[in-house]
Structure 1
């Protein structure tokens, strides 16, 4: 056995050991599976046995019962384990929402609640006349208090996720502060207690009116509790029809103010078209109610069909299209034009701007057989990065990062990165750090090559090499995040002998990406990550079936492409659904209303009727994704979806010709 073979064997053994070790690793259990808990109900379960210094009052003006606390209020506490059962650590992501009224303009750091041990405050909220102080793991975040001393009811919510804490007041104002903490925090709850209105971390007891202190694992309590803002689509009518015989209060002709529930509107009802249910204004928030009274069911739209809206003539055939929006500039589409123009060594890719309901050529950007464009923002600057395949697969090629010039209002070359037959660039952030992953496909006939992850250097203001990962026929990087875990999935298409091979998912741990899971793929060219009902999914586009598994070399472009669903408990993706696809190199997930859709590209668009079809799938309950639209289009390589006013458009890049197209969606109302 040669030295090279021995070294490769050692690498395989090490990688297998890492994967096996990660599979055996038992991550400590965090208390993330409990439902919403009202701390007040837990602390004071029966109103007939109120603690000393606590009374129930009725606020006549707002028609609200609440608890009033006096300076001599005794400690109101209970063990945290009565809520956090069968788990060891405090949730990493959580939210808390409370409703209060306070008229004292001279607050002296009054306590709303706290979760703490003798030596450590896990979470607490204290009020002063000028600040709202949120404490996490003994570290304080101070928010400006401009509303809580006006003797009016207010709602306050805090959401903790990653390295940030967000405060939302009255469902209107949102402020975010950076939170200094390690992840995972692993705060043990075994000896902790929950206190209401009086706690060690604050100097004084709460002396206002308090109603509901709701704790929810997960960082979206404000979104789930507050009503939606003004609907995105004007055809949606939030009003309840006025009925003289009805006992339901109706709003004026302008409809309800969904940006906030005013206290003068307590008791009013309105219809929420997002959830298609009636909501009542209670204590400043919209809450769902049930009713047997007949209410006119509003119509909502469902995708009916697509029609060709615009032909976009690009410099050459397009492998990829990237849509992005720059504030103050508008919507843009940049096409990765793969072939040089007029046999030049360097080609160009077309950048188009959405102007007067159509895409118009805005700028030609130099590229060398471009495969993918990636748009991102760092600070207040806008960037475009192109993955150049190059004209000679055995030589190093420069892929380019362009920067937006604000005065000239054009993109200019900013930095070049040495790549080998680059297929993809993927931008992402982790803990406020900026990264750019490059998928290098091959060096000449050698499919095994190092792909590179670049990191933004704040001092030099350039991307530098952060980590190299050996890949085989790499085609696509896809970054995604589940809870506070960061992942990169690599689609590997060919190893020189067969397209039936393994693609990998990496997880970010200890300041590097480590193997997390392998998935068998067949000429994989794209991963698409999406979520449905808080569940995580990955769809793989398998493009080509070549190798010993297809020794007769038949129907090489027809393969099975699959969706995988993440099982958080088992910490692995498992196959969810499989489709027969033809030369699929891209999946695109999108939502219209509450409906989930997937469209798959058809890059070869062969001779048979099946090979010339592009298919859109819609999620239909237990049937999962079913085909609902079939379209005879040009060979498509990449799909994107965007909205303008009430209109929905689809854009796809033509893999074989200069004519890419914009399609416009037509809807039916049901």
Structure 2
């Protein structure tokens, strides 16, 4: 195995030590044109190396391989970077090892649109080889930390402490990497020694580490996208530049003070400070949004009855969304077809009716955007021939939602919208067809040419009630809540994972009349909560007071395992929300076997104790909870499936 100079070897970004970072008082964050720039983005610092000469950002391989010229049989590459969106067919090198005499690439790490490529030249083989990791989404203008572990013929990629992706060489090369000689070669940071393929993003750390997978040295961590193994000190702290006038901070900022409404934050305001006197917080504009510098974390004190919202008929679901330049809206899924379902707009501190849309026993709304266009899709459940659910599109000129497309559904109870790999999808929960609950639910994909959704995949479901989409690292999941198979509610609900161009079964989880899945993350831990509604027994009455369960993803077994059981009463919805730094779950308790007038409960996350009940809210036929925030504060709204009265609650904080 190669002998390194140190146990932990940073591929040194030489500008740190050779004086290329400017320390002039007026521009301490970046250098003169043509040199390395130090840039702070989204609260963290990195180096922009695109403007430097390739030779400046290079060094002989002998600086690392001092006692032996050969790579170790196992090694890891750790990189933290922020990459802007890349055009098609554009490739950029994070680093490369190049033979000086022939200019041949011996080894390199390259990024392209939504892909990462590990390139190497096996000893004694003509032409280089490539191991590609597709769909990793590194070029999204966000910070990411990746660990690429190489062991013989295999390479494993871990992004942001997520699930690992494995690749093996297409053609076996048993001599790689242990027989790869670095004699007479140089490391190049952010390039392949040429102008073409220069790295345009920001680099925060770049580490070469001998031995097996280094993921365990970084993960778990509270901030996986910025996991640290060896970040240079200059990128960690904010330097002060003393002179005869005293310390000079790294930027000068204009300060504004308001009582709540944020001032504009765009390019011209970048670096400005804003003090929110109402919430006692100090923020800085990063050119896009206001980023928190200092704040007094809010804590939930109590829940206050805020607005009685009378709808045209019973309401099965509410969906909160925003329309740019128009404000906050709420879509209510109402039972009666006339006047249909209501779209409400938040004005003067309350929801007011804005538009009525004709629906057929609407059970759910889902809001989504595609290429800046705003859509709403409704799940119509009234039996008719054919049964049609409808997609509506926001018309900016008429300031209304207009019909865009109809899709055949069967007693549809829910829609889920999501995006993967630059494609937009919809999935419908088809509950039953006549008396048959074991039918197909359908996944649709948006066709940008026709501007319509088309069938992409069908999935067998049993009384499907809800779909939930979520991602863990580079993996994408769909969970379906199966309620009833025609005989019993004690059946399995299924979690699917996207593999090889379609959703495949990942795990089946026993549930009891499952009506909702809610996914959320707390300190890097991934949870999935199911609402169990009732246990139907062929002998004796049905049971409504049963446990609903919170599951946690175990990264070792790669399965969801039971974390906590919570007694609920025909639970039909979970809603996860945060207030300040506190995390909460609220459950919709709808029926206990004798009454619809029940307390729905707010649970607070308390670490090792799990979720602990902190507030009980009287509700009647509660069907759905939604959390939202406005300039007036944070709110919860619930819909009633047995009454025209839905309610808005205000979360009072201190």
TM-score range, shorter chain: 0.5 to 0.7
CA contact (8 A) 1:544 1:557 kept: yes
CA contact (8 A) 1:389 1:420 kept: yes
Q: Distance in 2 between matches of 1:405 and 1:86?
A: 60
1:655 aligns with 2:641: yes
Distance 1:438 1:223, change over 3 A: farther
Map Cα deviations across residues 280-314 of structure 1 (whole Å, 9 max, x no partner): xxxxxx9x9xxxxxxxx975321111111111111
Q: Distance in 1 between matches of 2:82 and 2:375?
A: 38
Pick from 540, 547, 568 the counterpart of residue 552 of structure 1: 540
1:570 aligns with 2:557: yes
CA contact (8 A) 2:135 2:421 kept: no
Q: Distance in 2 between matches of 1:506 and 1:162?
A: 18
Partner of 2:88: none
Pick from 338, 346, 361 the counterpart of residue 353 of structure 2: 361
Shift of 1:162: 2.8
Partner of 1:630: 616
Shift of 1:557: 1.4
Shift of 1:552: 2.8
Distance 1:213 1:490, change over 3 A: closer
CA contact (8 A) 1:316 1:337 kept: yes
Matches within 5 A, 1:313-324: 313-324=310-321
Partner of 1:202: 193
Map Cα deviations across residues 508-559 of structure 1 (whole Å, 9 max, x no partner): 11111111110000000000011111121110000111125xx3326x2111
Matches within 5 A, 1:295-374: 299-341=296-338, 348-374=340-366
Q: Distance in 2 between matches of 1:298 and 1:330?
A: 26
CA contact (8 A) 2:81 2:203 kept: no
Partner of 2:387: 397
Partner of 2:226: 221
Q: Distance in 2 between matches of 1:248 and 1:199?
A: 31
Aligned residue-pair number: 513
Pick from 130, 136, 140 the counterpart of residue 162 of structure 1: 136
Structure 1 residue ranges without an equivalent (≥5): 1-37, 99-109, 126-131, 140-159, 170-182, 226-246, 278-285, 289-296, 342-346
Structure 2 residue ranges without an equivalent (≥5): 1-5, 37-52, 84-91, 120-133, 144-163, 170-175, 208-217, 232-246, 258-262, 283-290
Partner of 1:474: 464
CA contact (8 A) 1:606 1:612 kept: no
3-state DSSP of counterpart to 1:586: strand
Partner of 2:60: 75
Q: Distance in 2 between matches of 1:624 and 1:86?
A: 43
CA contact (8 A) 2:344 2:352 kept: yes
Matches within 5 A, 1:195-274: 201-203=192-194, 213-214=205-206, 220-221=225-226, 254=255
Partner of 1:20: none
Distance 1:357 1:184, change over 3 A: same
Distance 1:590 1:535, change over 3 A: same
Q: Distance in 2 between matches of 1:437 and 1:135?
A: 26
Q: Distance in 2 between matches of 1:650 and 1:381?
A: 27
Map Cα deviations across residues 45-81 of structure 1 (whole Å, 9 max, x no partner): 9xxxx99x975799764699x99998697515647x9
Partner of 1:594: 581
CA contact (8 A) 1:439 1:451 kept: yes
CA contact (8 A) 1:316 1:338 kept: yes
CA contact (8 A) 1:120 1:138 kept: no
CA contact (8 A) 2:315 2:335 kept: yes
Pick from 409, 420, 442 the counterpart of residue 452 of structure 1: 442
Partner of 1:137: 117
Partner of 1:15: none
Q: Distance in 2 between matches of 1:545 and 1:386?
A: 28
Map Cα deviations across residues 176-204 of structure 1 (whole Å, 9 max, x no partner): xxxxxxx9683879468896556871249
TM-score (norm 2): 0.66
Shift of 1:407: 0.9
Pick from 164, 167, 170 the counterpart of residue 186 of structure 1: 167
Distance 1:360 1:59, change over 3 A: closer
Q: Distance in 2 between matches of 1:458 and 1:124?
A: 29
Q: Distance in 1 between matches of 2:77 and 2:228?
A: 22
3-state DSSP of counterpart to 2:330: strand
Q: Distance in 2 between matches of 1:39 and 1:377?
A: 49
Map Cα deviations across residues 4-63 of structure 1 (whole Å, 9 max, x no partner): xxxxxxxxxxxxxxxxxxxxxxxxxxxxxxxxxx99963469xxxx99x97579976469
Distance 1:248 1:300, change over 3 A: farther
3-state DSSP of counterpart to 1:220: helix
CA contact (8 A) 1:562 1:576 kept: yes
Distance 1:366 1:576, change over 3 A: same
Q: Distance in 2 between matches of 1:95 and 1:570?
A: 27
Matches within 5 A, 1:38-117: 42-43=10-11, 55=18, 61=24, 74-76=59-61, 78=64, 95-96=80-81, 113-114=95-96
Partner of 2:236: none
Matches within 5 A, 1:432-511: 432-511=422-501
Distance 1:197 1:453, change over 3 A: closer
Distance 1:185 1:664, change over 3 A: same
Shift of 1:607: 5.4
Shift of 1:166: 4.3
Distance 1:629 1:89, change over 3 A: same
Q: Distance in 2 between matches of 1:72 and 1:584?
A: 59
Q: Distance in 2 between matches of 1:508 and 1:133?
A: 19
Q: Distance in 1 between matches of 2:224 and 2:545?
A: 42
Shift of 1:499: 0.8
1:415 aligns with 2:412: no
1:642 aligns with 2:609: no
1:386 aligns with 2:378: yes
Map Cα deviations across residues 225-269 of structure 1 (whole Å, 9 max, x no partner): 9xxxxxxxxxxxxxxxxxxxxx99999994999x99xxxx9xxxx
CA contact (8 A) 2:137 2:474 kept: no
CA contact (8 A) 1:476 1:527 kept: yes
Partner of 1:283: none
3-state DSSP of counterpart to 2:10: helix
Distance 1:661 1:90, change over 3 A: same
Distance 1:620 1:448, change over 3 A: same
Pick from 604, 615, 618 the counterpart of residue 604 of structure 2: 618
CA contact (8 A) 2:603 2:613 kept: yes
